[in-house]
Structure 1
Amino acid sequence: MLPFPASAHATATRRSRRRTLAALALAGAATLLVGCTPVGTQSTTPDGASSPEASQLVALTDEVEAASADGDGSTSFAADALDVLGKLDVAPRDEWEEFDREGSFGEGWQDPDGNGCDARNDALAVSMTDVDLNRDGCRVDTGVFVDPYSGDEIDFERGPDTSPLVQIDHVVALANAWRTGAKELSFVERVELSNDPMNLQATAGWVNDDKKSQDAANWLPPQESYHCTYVARQIVVKATYNLWVTQAEHDAMRDVLEGCA
């Protein structure tokens, strides 16, 4: 069975992200002298609007993670998410160019929270109930998964034919991230983006295949009740890593959040 409760794991993840964002804020103060603005710190967009500060991102991240963990459909974060959305740069996507996914975002899965298990298995474990782990204490052998994107319930069993039934979605697809600012990040920052728990969500394989690399203007989860949380998570990721949104993406996110209770 799962060796730690999902709530404890979520708390540890929030603490880790708070430390990361606080460190980035301190780094921002130091690097202003050389004109460099690191991820997640105060900056000014081309139209003069200020990008969200680290403390604002920490607060929104905590709200979104708490709502996701509770699973009660709470959307109390909507106003804060709208505020952060309003501070993101709006610009067209970069022209498509082929990129080496492993060369750009790292090979394999990392262990961002330092619990000894990689990000993929963490994402699977916290998304399931009745979890049985492999003897290594990390790999999920079996579990019951209810997909927040679609509502599908899947009896998961690890294996070459069955594992693809539950896949890990990058909430902000890596191809989308690449075309909206990620290629300007350092390699280390891109690896963090690819393994950030806020950007990872277990979902049914068919849903992940349907989404591909589409943004919120072109794709939202089939289950409408998850739209608010999904969009808020995308906003947190984009703000944390200084990614921009297209006008259509911005408008779609705004429309979703304005409809949240």
Structure 2
Amino acid sequence: MSPLRSLGVAVVALLTVVLAACAPLRGDAPAPGSPARTSVEELLARVRMVDARGKPGGYERGCKPGQGCVFGAAWSDDTDAPDGHDGCGTRDNVLAQQLRDVVKRGNCVVVGGVLADAYTGTEITFTKADAGAVQIDHVFPLAAAWDLGANAWSLARRARFANDTVVNLLAVSGRANQDKGDKTPGSWLPPAGSSHCFYAAKYLTVAVSYDLPITAADRARLAEVAKGCP
């Protein structure tokens, strides 16, 4: 494992513990246990930067006949990502790990639980009947990753990235996830200001772990966020 990858995994592990321990918080002050300013600034010092997001073309997420399927089948268990080949789909793995009071059907399928949502600072009750209320977000959006270099990766590496439960996936509010789309930090931050430090460190950790650059606009926005971190 490369030094950058090791740093990324270590930071994400810490942030995951922090998020699990923190109650939802609506205010703009950083949530208790948020990553320190020095941690965010260290990541900013390590990440590569480009002037702007490129437009290489060729991004097709869909996997129906005739579609590009450039990141592999959605939520596939057949990857070398963490939790790959465990018999459960990636979405269910994330829900099982990040919700509390989890209810399952069989060994894998999550049908109920409660999410402490990092993006909105609220709690969301998840049920299978209203599954869209909680969605799985790629912190570093797939389309953005494609534009910023993933188009040159092997399909296996892209599939790992898309299903990396340790580094790049968060269970979040469906509405917030739809609002985010494929935006990067220069144009989108979580509605809950209390989560901005967490999100900044999480996004940068993905970038460092996979050697993806951020744009100049992203860097400026994240540097501003860092100033408000504890």
State the match for 1:125 in structure 2: 96
State the match for 1:109 in structure 2: 75
Number of equivalent positions: 209
State the match for 1:65 in structure 2: 16
Deviates more, 1:232-241 or 1:70-79: 70-79
In structure 2, the residue corresponding to 1:249 is in which secondary structure? helix
Contact 1:60 1:77 in 2 (8 A): no
Opposite residue 127 of structure 1, the aligned amino acid is: Q
Opposite residue 118 of structure 1, the aligned amino acid is: G
The TM-score normalised by the length of structure 2 is 0.83
* CA shift digits 1:42-98 (9 cap, x unpaired): xxxxxxxxxxx3443344333323322322631345413311222222112112624
State the match for 1:154 in structure 2: 124
Cα distance in 2, alignment partners of residues 59 and 144 from structure 1: 26
Does the C-alpha gap of structure 1 residues 147 and 168 become closer, same or farther in structure 2, counting only changes over 3 Å? same
Deviation at 1:108, TM superposition (A): 2.5
Does the C-alpha gap of structure 1 residues 90 and 258 become closer, same or farther in structure 2, counting only changes over 3 Å? same
State the match for 1:90 in structure 2: 49
CA root-mean-square deviation = 1.9
Opposite residue 187 of structure 2, the aligned amino acid is: N
Cα distance in 2, alignment partners of residues 222 and 110 from structure 1: 30
Gaps of 5+ in 2: 24-31, 63-68
Deviation at 1:178, TM superposition (A): 0.9
In structure 1, the residue corresponding to 2:108 is in which secondary structure? coil
In structure 2, the residue corresponding to 1:86 is in which secondary structure? helix
In structure 2, the residue corresponding to 1:190 is in which secondary structure? helix
State the match for 2:183 in structure 1: 214
Opposite residue 179 of structure 2, the aligned amino acid is: D
Gaps of 5+ in 1: 1-21, 26-40, 42-52
State the match for 1:186 in structure 2: 154
Q: Which of 1 and 2 has higher RCO (CA within 8 Å, sep 6+)?
A: 2
* CA shift digits 1:178-205 (9 cap, x unpaired): 1111112211111111011221111121
